[in-house]
Amino acid sequence: MAKPIVRLAGIHKSFAGVRALQDVSVTLEEGTVHCLVGENGCGKSTLIKIIAGVYPRDSGTVEIGGTLYERLHPIDSIREGIQVIYQDFSLFPNLTVSENIALNEQLAAGRKFVNWAHVRRVAQDAISQLEVHLPLDARVDEMSVANKQLIAIAKALRQNARLIIMDEPTSALTEREIRTLFTVIGKLQRRGIAFLFVSHKLNEVLEISQSILVMRNGQVVSAGQVSEYDTARLIYEMTGQRIAENAYEFTPDPGQPALLRVRGLAVPGVLQDVSFALQAHEIVGVTGLLGSGRTELALALFGMLPMTAGDIEIDGKPAQIRSVQDAIAHGIGYVPEDRLTEGLFLEQSIGRNVVVRTIETLRGRLGLTDPLQVQRQIRDWVTSLRIKTADPDLPVKTLSGGNQQRVVVAKWLASRPHLMILNGPTVGVDIGSKNELHELIKRLARAGMGLLVISDDIPELLQTCNRILLMRNGTIVEEILPRQTNENALAAKLIED
């Protein structure tokens, strides 16, 4: 049995009377990758913050590195070698890689002058421990998400990390980058470093971890060795119910002109000669690595990236898309990749986010906005998309990821588009909501909408799309039918050059 680093017993935690954690007992051992899974709001982040010393517990015991802590402060937790890598990585974008890795300790040592040679040496040392290559003098904001993550890990190592907690570490990574990350984790693990992984991607959870913790409603409902679990059991433990998804069936109607036809579309440097068609009732997946042009294709169709060549036809008629307003006028809606910065007005109310597309039309006397119509539309969408909130006047940031995504979808549905482009529709969304979003996508397609689903979530593509377009180097290289492939074959195609 490996030595425990963190041992929590009987932890209770409430916020303003709402129970966040109830009798949680967890042991995290060195050299082990632990995965923490559970739906949004199940208490995962509260648990992490208790381990990190950010939140005090209400009751229960916390033992770290053999010491019992009456009151655990963040600094105690850091001294004990616990490093939390949040999704934003907490790096300084305007500093270089080596500065990010090594400056912390120079500051902590109270030095007035920076020893640059030392900074470089320290950073190089940390990076070589990961056995990856990173340019030391490049600015961090020029690095990819995957590299930023490696920098954050290197930084954690410099602070003598014994337990690295990572929140959704793979959600913004491509298949290949995930492989690199997993290799790095494997190496560090063999040196005795423990990991606590929080992830929604269950197949990755099963692949990387040795020990699994499942949380539901503030309790650990299941824990054990990874060998005891498969995807179905994980979903069952997380949701308390069995969920099965059926693939989407589509029968083409030859009499209909294509809803969208793209011929030879090009955007210098990112897209070249992209041609495809999309019928009404169709759900077409678009996949590819980051940089394959999948997001750029969406942006070009949505009028955000000016195209230099190519024809677009909508409902059989030529269409010019030069601006977002043009795209909207042609009935195109776009659920962007980054929900938090592109999809939502986080600080504004749920209601305002829902009606932002339609506010012009909700007018009454004197041409002024009619609050009653606005209220009605908000109520209708909150109800029909089952957005879980006590009050639509609350800021949209109070919602969970899945509910936030429903707000973005509601915003577009309210303006009745014929064609919806969804970019990473279920990134950072819990299993239950993910399933409901997939059902919603299928329902919309059955009702006559055409949908373009951009995703690198392979099970998602196979379950929701009737066709999948594979992109590489800015163009579509292959069309794949879900029933003629499987997860492994598609994953292999995704990363092959």
Partner 1 sequence: MGQSTKRPVWSLAGDSQPLRLLAITLLIFVGFSLVLGDKFFSIRNLQSMAVQFPEFGILAFAIMITMLTGGIDLSIVGTANLSAIAAALLLTRLSGEGGAGVALELSIPLAMVAALAVASACGLLNGLLVARAGITPILATLGTSSLYTGLSYVITGGPAITTTQLAFIGNGAVAGVPIPVIVFVVLAVVFAVLLNRTAFGFNVYMLGTNLRAALFSGIDDVKVLMRAYWLAGVIAGIAGIIFLARVNSAKPEYGSSFILLTVLIAILGGIRYTGGFGTVAGLVLSVLTIQFLSTGLNMLMLELSGSSAAIFFRQFAWGGLLLAVMVVNDYVERRRQRAI
Residue 383 phi/psi, 5-degree rounding, is: -70, -50
- Check binding of 375 to partner 1 (CB under 8 A): yes
Please check whether residue 3 is in contact with residue 193, taking contact to mean a CB–CB distance below 8 angstroms. Answer: no
Closer residue to partner 1, CB minimum distance, 126 or 452: 452
Q: How many CB atoms lie within 10 A of CB 257?
A: 13
Q: How far is the CB of 327 from partner 1 (least distance, A)?
A: 8
What does the per-residue mask of binding to partner 1 show for 13-32, with x meaning CB under 8 A?
A: ---x----------------
- Check binding of 325 to partner 1 (CB under 8 A): yes
Burial of 334 (0-12, 13-18, 19+ CB in 10 A): buried
- Check binding of 141 to partner 1 (CB under 8 A): no
Closer residue to partner 1, CB minimum distance, 206 or 374: 374
- Check binding of 251 to partner 1 (CB under 8 A): no
**Which member of 70, 88, 249, 347 binds partner 1 (CB under 8 A)?**
347
**Which member of 28, 178, 202, 328 binds partner 1 (CB under 8 A)?**
328
Span of 4-12, 186-194, 211-219, 366-374 interacting with partner 1 by CB under 8 A: 366-374
Q: Tokens 């003629």 belong to which residue?
A: 484
**Which member of 6, 8, 378, 421 binds partner 1 (CB under 8 A)?**
378
**Residues binding partner 1: number (CB under 8 A):** 39
In the region spanning residues 151 to 210, those forming contacts with partner 1, defined by CB under 8 A, are none
Q: Distance (Å, rounded) from C-alpha 405 to C-alpha 408? A: 5
**Which member of 142, 207, 391, 439 binds partner 1 (CB under 8 A)?**
391
**Which member of 243, 319, 346, 491 binds partner 1 (CB under 8 A)?**
346
Dihedral angle, C-alpha 301, 302, 304, 306, nearest 10 °: 30
Say how many CA atoms lie within 13 Å of 7 toward its Cβ: 8
Closest CA to 292 of 117, 425, 470: 470
Q: How far is the CB of 372 from partner 1 (least distance, A)?
A: 9
Q: How far is the CB of 203 from partner 1 (least distance, A)?
A: 31
Burial of 454 (0-12, 13-18, 19+ CB in 10 A): buried
What letter does residue 356 receive in the DSSP assignment? T
What letter does residue 342 receive in the DSSP assignment? I
Q: How far is the CB of 314 from partner 1 (least distance, A)?
A: 17
**Strand, helix or coil for residue 316:** coil
Strands 33-37 and 194-198: parallel
- Check binding of 395 to partner 1 (CB under 8 A): yes
Q: Distance (Å, rounded) from C-alpha 182 to C-alpha 188? A: 10
For 380-438, the DSSP string reads HHHHHTT---S-TTSBGGGS-HHHHHHHHHHHHHHT--SEEEEESTTTT--HHHHHHHH
The 10 Å CB-count burial string (b at 16+, else e) for 163-190 is bbbbbbbbbbbbbebbebbbebbeebbe
Say how many CA atoms lie within 13 Å of 319 toward its Cβ: 27
What does the per-residue mask of binding to partner 1 show for 211-250, with x meaning CB under 8 A?
A: ----------------------------------------
Closer residue to partner 1, CB minimum distance, 248 or 334: 334
What letter does residue 36 receive in the DSSP assignment? E
Q: How far is the CB of 321 from partner 1 (least distance, A)?
A: 13
In the region spanning residues 253 to 312, those forming contacts with partner 1, defined by CB under 8 A, are 304
**Which member of 73, 111, 322, 379 binds partner 1 (CB under 8 A)?**
379
- Check binding of 360 to partner 1 (CB under 8 A): yes
Closer residue to partner 1, CB minimum distance, 355 or 437: 355
Q: How far is the CB of 205 from partner 1 (least distance, A)?
A: 29
Sheet containing strand 194-198, edge to edge, reads 82-85, 163-167, 194-198, 33-37, 211-216, 219-225
- Check binding of 442 to partner 1 (CB under 8 A): no
Closer residue to partner 1, CB minimum distance, 130 or 307: 307
Closer residue to partner 1, CB minimum distance, 203 or 415: 415
Closer residue to partner 1, CB minimum distance, 408 or 468: 408
Binding site for partner 1 (CB under 8 A): 16, 304, 324-325, 328, 334, 336, 341-349, 351-352, 355-357, 359-360, 368-369, 371, 374-375, 378-379, 390-395, 397-398, 411
